[in-house]
Structure 1
């Protein structure tokens, strides 16, 4: 069993590394955020459908669940659109640092969704996150638009994770992901069709929309297959052998991997003011500390221990 756990732990780190590489691909792909997300969700839903077909996973759902999945799909589509838009108008480092605030937004939204009281340390950590954001805003004013896009992306990510957290306890994750990605594609398609026929034709489905360079096709295929379909299926697999706490702490390394990769690949374009890194470190440390506190609290409840796969 220890060898199995180690193998899955290393696998999880590789998956998180792959997720960190998503931002790199967003910088390398030359098309705008909206078509980029459309292609990503379309291809990824196809790959996951193939996996579902091979594994013979049922896709029959109730109308109520289908509506919930459709709403979640729209949220994740908007999350990815704002994520890649942030990269386009700023850079990878700014976007990933801001994305770390997702845990802060979740700590605010969870009491609303689950109707529980705010916890004192969540309020304290919230203040720390705001101080980290203040440092970044203060020294990186030229990237204000990118920071705002990335914060919107982080907020949408937290809403999406809360909705999925409820559904994942009852339904197959692959089925959930397929419907959400397909719903996101449908949502963006309707929007683009609206632009094509009733808005700005040049902003909707045009000939140029489907004329991608060879490098863009290559990067989008990697994004949809490896960074989306494979990473999702792999993350579900490792959760069978690792505790949620271990998974959560490891996933928090995504911004670290991404920022290091961005600096190695793009060089000076990703070099930021030292105060940016102080602010990013405050935000990331807060996320990790929040996880440690939550885990310590769970350990005090004997009834919850049996739900954690060791």
Structure 2
């Protein structure tokens, strides 16, 4: 069953110098029980897309799309109250920097209990408080927190980033969402904690059938735990498809460059050999190139690239490039 269906999503920011297009006609879909990765450099628009889905962008941002459906409902046509009800019931999001996302004036126990919906509590009303406490403790155990008494009585600043991240995950799964959006869930965490959190998200997908949209700039980690992958560059979708297919035969030069920049994907690379890197850096939103935004950095760029490429399809493999790598006309 198709949960999320977005076609040609555009997100623009009103500035003193005019309107800036941060996300340019991006399409994205998610089915029930699917895990999809959304990867790209910092500043490519990944977090903006996530925030647009849950509707937390402020009034300066203008969000438009040809289609923006959740379970067949057009979210952009719903009133703010109706949209909050839909999002609050079906979608949860884990934000970057969990210690900043948690309320610094309330202990963890209060915040976690507040995240548990009333309809999930059974029994007489006068026992709801104890049920809510037991449910909160169970959620902490589920995400791997054993010392629940200390954590429940602590403020966010008294806990490590890893524990705060687990608390955020516990709050996100408290309502049994159909879709969990994890926005850079392992930023600034040590490698062992990163692997533990990725395994945790994968287990929710496998055991509960929860769809997961995993957003990260770390291609290696995302590729290991996702079934499908979407690659963004500077607000444009450059390639999407099955994760294994993208890693084996990328069609877009940017995807190819990402793969070549990860040592784990280059087993034949000799020791101390420099990793491949595209020249230059990602442009600012005020000075994005016309047409294909990778153009100034692309090794295959030609004069045709001043026109924005359309999203093309080869079976279940999508790409936006005038000169894809493995077709006639590539270099």
Structure whose residues are more often strand by fraction: 2
TM range (shorter): under 0.3
* Pair member with larger Rg: 2
Q: TM-score, normalised by structure 1?
A: 0.26
- TM-score where L is the length of structure 2: 0.25
